[in-house]
Amino acid sequence: MNESFYFETSAVNALYHKFSSDDRFSSVETKKFQISKGRKWYISSAVLWEIFRTKDKNRRYYLFDFCRCLFYGHLITCPEELIVNYIKSGCPVFEKPYNLDSSNKGLFAKEWQCACDDARYYFEPDIDQLHSYSYAMQFLWKYLHKKQNGYELKGEKELLDHSYHLLGIRFESLLDKLVQEFGGLTDMTDEKKQYVFIVFHVALVILCYGITLNKEIIEDYWNSKNISKPISRMEWLVENSIPIFFRGPLSNIAKMTVLQSNSKYSRGLHIDSLHSVYFTCIDMYFTSDDHFIDFKNKIPDPNMLKIMNIADVEFGVPLLT
């Protein structure tokens, strides 16, 4: 029986500390053992993204080297692939399982395979470019967080306001359609109003503007439909794939964003939200981040039972070299 386990970045760090502090444990032998049992210990492009943003150059390398020795030789399918696959399958209530190995279009996917196959191979993106792109992503999620708490950002916010102006009445009418799916504005709780606002904007940013880690995958999908304008993409989603707003990977991103919107802003919100797409498609989800534990406790979904605190995992007999 094949099983897929996902380790988000905090769990990776916890395992790194555990293995590096106890020489009885071997990442190489653990990987061999898990594969022999039919288990894929996955990390994602988002995990690597966070590792590459580690300021200490030596720690950055050691974390990377530890990961390729311990985790599966393919990255897990990137969030954009999961979202597109979900739309293509008709946004089912129960999605049929499929191979979660990332395609070569996924960010870092080919490089990761090379690094796992050849210990001499190491890669990392341009750090300045990485930080610049991270800042842009953080700004968008900070905007959503602040907007939900009644604040307005100065400066760059005019760019978003300008895009809303261009969308105009069509933007409002599409948002109204989502509201009607919840029974209308007058019957909606404040929590549902918050969710509809967030999920609409998450879809706008990721699926319509393609502002995400794997823009090429989003653009390839829309090119196959010959739809290029963001507003036309949103219209197509509302008319043809409205369940994408209420269940599946995009919905998980929105739910995590909503959850963190009700607390102090975290710079890792956008990455946490991307990690959240994997709740429904894997067998176990490992973390040591309170945001994900909180998600498990507050979201009434059986899939949340897959979330495990790595601190609660007992390692029986150490796996020796």
pLDDT of residue 223: 96
Contacts from 16-25 at CB under 8 Å and sequence distance 24+? 16/62, 16/63, 16/66, 18/315, 19/66, 19/70, 20/62, 20/66, 22/318, 24/318, 24/320, 25/315, 25/318, 25/319
Mean of per-residue pLDDT scores for the chain: 82
DSSP string for 268-297: THHHHHHHGGGGGTSSEEEE--HHHHHHHH
pLDDT of residue 131: 65
69-73, 83-87, 128-132, 277-281: which has the minimum mean pLDDT?
A: 128-132
59-63, 68-72, 146-150: which has the minimum mean pLDDT?
A: 146-150
Cα angle 72, 75, 77 (rounded to 5 degrees) comes to 130
Residue 277: which pLDDT band, with cuts at 50, 70 and 90?
very high
Residue 73: which pLDDT band, with cuts at 50, 70 and 90?
very high
Within 8 A by CB and 6+ apart from 150, the residues are none
188 pLDDT more than 80: no
Query: In Å, what is the CA distance from 295 to each residue of 56, 266, 273, 303?
Result: 30, 15, 11, 11
SS3 per-residue string spanning 224-245: HHCCCCHHHHHHHHHHHCHHHH
pLDDT of residue 143: 63
pLDDT of residue 154: 45
Phi/psi at 294 (nearest 5 deg)? Answer: -65, -40
**Top-confidence residue, 96 or 287:** 287
Residue 155: which pLDDT band, with cuts at 50, 70 and 90?
very low
Over range 178-192, report the average pLDDT.
69
40 pLDDT more than 90: yes
Give the neighbor-by-neighbor strand order of the sheet with 3-7: 39-42, 3-7, 284-287, 307-309
**Top-confidence residue, 314 or 9:** 9
92-96, 168-172, 250-254: which has the minimum mean pLDDT?
A: 168-172
CA gap 141, 125 in Å, rounded: 23
> Element (H or E) spanning 130, and its range?
helix 127-148
Residue 158: which pLDDT band, with cuts at 50, 70 and 90?
low
pLDDT tens-place string over residues 165-176: 554 445 666 667
3-7, 37-41, 312-316: which has the minimum mean pLDDT?
A: 312-316
Query: In Å, what is the CA distance from 123 to each residue of 128, 145, 189?
Result: 15, 33, 48
**Top-confidence residue, 165 or 25:** 25
**pTM for the structure as a whole:** 0.84
pLDDT of residue 318: 47
Spatial contact of 167 and 204, defined as CB atoms under 8 Å apart: no
Contacts from 253-257 at CB under 8 Å and sequence distance 24+? 253/79, 253/202, 253/206, 253/277, 254/195, 254/198, 254/199, 254/202, 255/195, 255/295, 255/299, 256/291, 256/295, 257/141, 257/144, 257/145, 257/198, 257/202
CA gap 264, 307 in Å, rounded: 22
pLDDT of residue 321: 40
CA gap 15, 11 in Å, rounded: 6
Phi/psi at 150 (nearest 5 deg)? Answer: 85, 10
Beta bridge partners of 39: 3
